[in-house]
Amino acid sequence: MSEDLEQQISILRKSRWVNLSGLIDCATKRLSKPTCRSIQLLGNGSYNTVYKLIFADGTEIAASVSVHDDEDFNPQAKLSEIATMQFVRASGLYPDILVPQVHAWDITFSNPVGAPYVLMDIVRGRKLENLNNNDNLRGLDSMSEVQQLTVTTTLAKLQSALSAPVSFGKIGSITLNDEGSFVVGPLFSITQKNLGGPYKSLADLWRARLEHEILHAMRDWIRLETNQLSQSLSEPKCTPQKFSELFQLLSSLTPHFVPPSSYLPLVLHHPDLALRNVFFDPTDDTKIVGLIDWGGAQILPLILTAKFPGDLNSTGDDPCERQGIPDEGWNTVPHDWTSFGDTSKWPKVFRGANDQVDLTIRASAMVRRYYLRQHFGARFALENHDRYSDYDTGRAMLFAHAPYYLKFHEIIAGGWTAWVDHAEWIRETFRRLSAVRKDPRGHALIVGPNVYRSSMEKPVFDLSIFEEQSSEDDQDGEEEKMGE
């Protein structure tokens, strides 16, 4: 290996257990390439670091190396990611979606690299995420209104292309069977968590996840010294009684959250559709030339894929919290900024002495995202009409109708800590649904407010609230004594 190549390796970012010299050796042998001339950092994320290898014959290859150690890495989830990329290229369902070809991989930690790796083609194109303007806005927010509409339309067309119905009959993630055929296996999340399955229906999926939490309780919480279930500071406070209440509420809600059949066709879901993973034609924002980062891709009912690209999302505390408008903190559903409220009550932020930050610039970008989301949903429906001759009026409103189902699924899939984080939403949804749905038969669509700003009057007088408050006070007292 040349001194120049060794110098490049010495300054590259990598996990401490990764051997980049071993990566070069593996790529050279497995791809039957001549000497490697250069190695460069191509990109890095939460799950992988990607390097560009340039060989003596001019060939360039992307080498993706896992950043997780062997305790956190899920080999089956990585195999599903690879199989999904192969499926997109081979199925013929997605002629407009360009995915890099995978040439070789190793999902073990015993190889010369010291970590799982995947060798694939490099995607070439224009990345829009790093654009910026004079207002310190980046990506989509930094563009002119006209360019924002163009890029949003292009992303909506990409989402529509992904919505082609698949022939699979189960919910899960794509994998290869022993015969080399594409099948649906267990459901993997973007964090490589195995959610079990595959599942025949949404109801089966939700019931299985609820049962998983009960089994967890029976195995891990039967020797508690106190009525506190939290085992670490990262877990929310919860008692067995609260856990049981939320379990019962979610179980009773599950049959009601099965959507009408028109929202249930199974399609392929890319879990991280964002500008950082999309490559555009260098001279044309209406053309996408590559889509990467397929980790956590799933086969899901259409309604659960109706998530806006990350660049269109907004949260209730960005750029600041607003009085009277609570932020429910969803991962899958944006918080709608549509007005400022009283800006005099906003926090004062400074870059330096006498240099105050104008938060209304960022807030205006959040409001603009709200209208771009409406454009995205409308263009998605129009594209489905043109692409699939889809005249269904319900699916034309997919992105308007999906939020409640996305919230419910996020809670169920997130486990008991997600139940606690969204306890008020669960309770309020149960109360409102109980008040309006007198006939539980049939699958009627559930729609509602984006954020619960006030609670309806409870149909019962819950006297246990005093006992719950007393328990929390006792726990706080114990923590104060421990800190003395």
pLDDT digits 0-9 by tens, 126-145: 999 999 999 999 999 999 99
Burial of 101 per CB tally in 10 Å (0-12, 13-18, 19+): exposed
Digit-coded pLDDT (tens) for 272-323: 999 999 999 999 999 999 999 999 999 999 999 999 999 999 999 999 998 8
Digit-coded pLDDT (tens) for 311-364: 999 999 999 998 888 899 999 999 999 999 999 999 999 988 888 899 999 999
pLDDT of residue 324: 82
Cα three-residue angle 96-267-120, rounded to 5 degrees = 50
The amino acid at residue 13 is R
Q: Give the contacts of 79 (CB within 8 A, at least 6 positions apart).
A: 107, 175, 176
Angle, nearest 10°, between helix axes 202-220 and 240-253? 170
Burial of 484 per CB tally in 10 Å (0-12, 13-18, 19+): exposed
The answer on 381 and 422 residing in a single domain is: yes
C-alpha span between 401 and 404 (Å, rounded)? 7
Mean confidence (pLDDT) of the chain: 92
Q: Which of 92, 121, 150 is the last residue of a domain?
A: 121
The answer on 260 and 207 residing in a single domain is: yes
pLDDT of residue 322: 87
Digit-coded pLDDT (tens) for 29-79: 999 999 999 999 999 888 999 999 999 999 999 999 999 999 999 999 999
Tokens of 194: 């195995």
Dihedrals φ, ψ of 399, to 5°?
A: -75, -20
The answer on 169 and 55 residing in a single domain is: no
Neighbours of 129 (CB within 10 A): 15
Residue 14 lies in a domain: yes
C-alpha span between 36 and 9 (Å, rounded)? 12
Q: How far is CA 205 from the centre of its chain?
A: 18
Q: Which of 61, 94, 121 is the last residue of a domain?
A: 121
The answer on 92 and 201 residing in a single domain is: no
List the domain range (segments joined by +) for residue 27. 3-121
The answer on 42 and 166 residing in a single domain is: no
pLDDT of residue 476: 62
The answer on 176 and 60 residing in a single domain is: no
**Helix (H) or strand (E) run with residue 29 in it:** helix 20-30
Q: Which of 121, 154, 180 is the last residue of a domain?
A: 121
Structurally, the chain folds into a number of domains equal to: 2
Chain position carrying tokens 């360009």: 98
C-alpha span between 115 and 100 (Å, rounded)? 21
pTM of the model: 0.92
C-alpha span between 115 and 107 (Å, rounded)? 7
| CATH, residue 147 | 3.90.1200
Residue 64: strand pairing partners: 50, 118
| CATH, residue 12 | 3.30.200.20
pLDDT of residue 291: 97
pLDDT of residue 436: 84
Residue 101: pLDDT over 90: yes
pLDDT of residue 467: 65
The answer on 148 and 48 residing in a single domain is: no
The answer on 182 and 89 residing in a single domain is: no
Residue 403 lies in a domain: yes
Residue 274 lies in a domain: yes
Residue 132 lies in a domain: no
178-192: burial string, b at 16+ Cβ within 10 Å, e else:
eeeebebbbbbbbeb
Q: Give the contacts of 25 (CB within 8 A, at least 6 positions apart).
A: 112
pLDDT of residue 156: 98
C-alpha span between 369 and 314 (Å, rounded)? 7
Residue 481 lies in a domain: no
Secondary structure (3-state) at 285: strand
Digit-coded pLDDT (tens) for 162-217: 999 999 999 999 999 999 999 999 999 999 999 999 999 999 999 999 999 999 99
Residue 340 lies in a domain: no
Query: Is residue 119 within 8 Å of residue 142, measured between CB atoms?
Result: no
pLDDT of residue 481: 55
pLDDT of residue 468: 62
The amino acid at residue 452 is Y
The answer on 83 and 211 residing in a single domain is: no
- Per cent of the chain over pLDDT 70 is 93
Residue 245 lies in a domain: yes
Cα dihedral 424→321→331→154 (10° resolution): 140
What does the pLDDT average to over 387-402?
A: 94
Residue 330 lies in a domain: no
pLDDT tier for residue 424 given thresholds of 50, 70 and 90: very high
pLDDT of residue 456: 73
Residue 484: pLDDT over 60: no
What does the pLDDT average to over 375-387?
A: 97
pLDDT tier for residue 2 given thresholds of 50, 70 and 90: confident
The answer on 116 and 148 residing in a single domain is: no
The answer on 377 and 466 residing in a single domain is: yes
The answer on 155 and 15 residing in a single domain is: no
The amino acid at residue 15 is S
pLDDT of residue 471: 60
